Amino acid sequence: MNAVVAGNLGHLSLNRPDSINAIDLEMMRGLTEALDAWADDEAVTAILLDGTGDYGFCAGGDFREILARAAEGMTIGSVFFRNEYRLIAKLAEYPKPIISIMHGMTMGSGISLAGHVSTRVVTDRVKLGQPETGYGFVPDGGASWRLARTPGEIGTYLALNSVDLSPADAIELGFADVMVPAERVGDLTAALLDADDAASPDEKARRFATEAGPSAVLARRDWIDACYSADTVEAILERLWAFSNGDVVEGLAAADSNDPDAASNAASAADALLRLSPTALVATLRSVRAASDSETLRDALERELRLARWFTTQPDLFTGVQALVAQNTETLHQDEVPEWKPAELADVDVADIVAAMQTQLRHSVFSRGLGIPEEEPAAAPESASA
């Protein structure tokens, strides 16, 4: 992680391009220390947060680090997530303007780092997503809070189906504020560094912004609302199948949808759900629904920490990440489905998930300062060492 002051701008760059800037504990420490130092530094009036390399801003959290430590019997999951969530809250609550630039792959924790600051820029080459249910986890880092505030049931759809977002989707759904073409990012950075230009970072970003166009995801809202408003994942699947077969669901038929491909899109959504971790799907639906209008970002982070800690003791997270690594190294075919445990939605223990969401941890997100506190050892699932 690089942290420099240029003019009146504090510039933070995620700098692990070989891993698409996946965030680890060392990066969290560096970001936190720089933000703390600049908060009271009168010479620094604004912050720029970006990532190095052409492939993306941030591919998410470094789960390889979590799994390696977990395989050693360490409760690194709790430590990792607690520190990450504190950093996200710090970015969201920072007393000075922060402008983030999301380019290329921006997934999971990458969205959380960049998505709660005062001005959020995406380029025309960005690819955003919450892919967690695809590797046996839940959207976290304030994601449940953000997803619950999208129009209708779109957040539920995005969270469950691990849907990728275009620049237009990101802006229309509240994940970003403006789109700046990739070839103009250098000009934007130069403008931000120009101490003689009294405009705010937000004003400077909007100088270089262009229209992103319509959101493809938002155009599907009518059938998404109809199908994803069900109370359980099983019921959502039943509605998707019925809708794709021509039945009327919640007063809507595919023929009457604003989406001309409503039936096929609903069928594809159902097929996608069948490939994802049943445990992660059930927990994700519970988590997003729990992020009510009255809840604060800090409340969501506390609940997400409890869920994240629980998932580090479950087999699906280890199975999913190992499958992801295997796919990236081409040792597992993209179409192969990991061996989720349990493999069926009906066999997921909902009571365990509810207890995980409600049980207070010994250390909450905000109970202690940044660092690695001593914690009790926790045995990882057998698949962690496979």
Q: What is the pLDDT of residues 253-286, one digit of tens each?
A: 999 999 999 999 999 999 999 999 999 999 999 9
Q: Tell me the pLDDT band of 292, cut-offs 50, 70 and 90.
A: confident
Q: What is the pLDDT of residue 325?
A: 74
Residue 56 per-residue DSSP state:
B
Q: What is the pLDDT of residue 377?
A: 36
Q: What is the pLDDT of residue 372?
A: 38
Q: What is the pLDDT of residue 27?
A: 94
The answer to the question of residue 54 being in a domain is yes
Average pLDDT over residues 151-175: 97
The answer to the question of residue 236 being in a domain is no
**Tokens encoding 65:** 């680090």
The answer to the question of residue 307 being in a domain is no
The answer to the question of residue 351 being in a domain is no
Percent of the chain with pLDDT over 70: 90
State how many domains the chain has.
1
Average pLDDT, the chain: 90
* CATH number, position 22: 3.90.226.10
The answer to the question of residue 187 being in a domain is yes
**Tokens encoding 6:** 């240029």
Measure the CA–CA gap between 262 and 259, rounded to whole angstroms. 5
Backbone angles phi, psi at 317, to 5 degrees: -60, -45
Per-residue pLDDT tens for 187-233?
999 999 998 999 999 999 999 999 999 999 999 999 999 999 999 99
Q: Are 87 and 142 in contact (CB under 8 A)?
A: no
Q: Tell me the pLDDT band of 75, cut-offs 50, 70 and 90.
A: low
Backbone angles phi, psi at 10, to 5 degrees: -90, 120
Task: Tell me the HSE value of 299 on the side-chain side, using a 13 A CA sphere.
Answer: 11
The answer to the question of residue 11 being in a domain is yes
Per-residue pLDDT tens for 304-344?
999 998 998 899 988 998 888 776 655 545 567 899 999 99
Q: Tell me the pLDDT band of 71, cut-offs 50, 70 and 90.
A: low
The answer to the question of residue 312 being in a domain is no
What is 251-270 written as a DSSP string? TB-GGGSSSTTHHHHHHHHH
Average pLDDT over residues 60-73: 72
Q: Coil, strand, or helix at residue 77?
A: helix
Q: What is the pLDDT of residue 322?
A: 83
Q: Are 167 and 123 in contact (CB under 8 A)?
A: yes
The answer to the question of residue 13 being in a domain is yes
Domain housing 9? 2-129+174-207
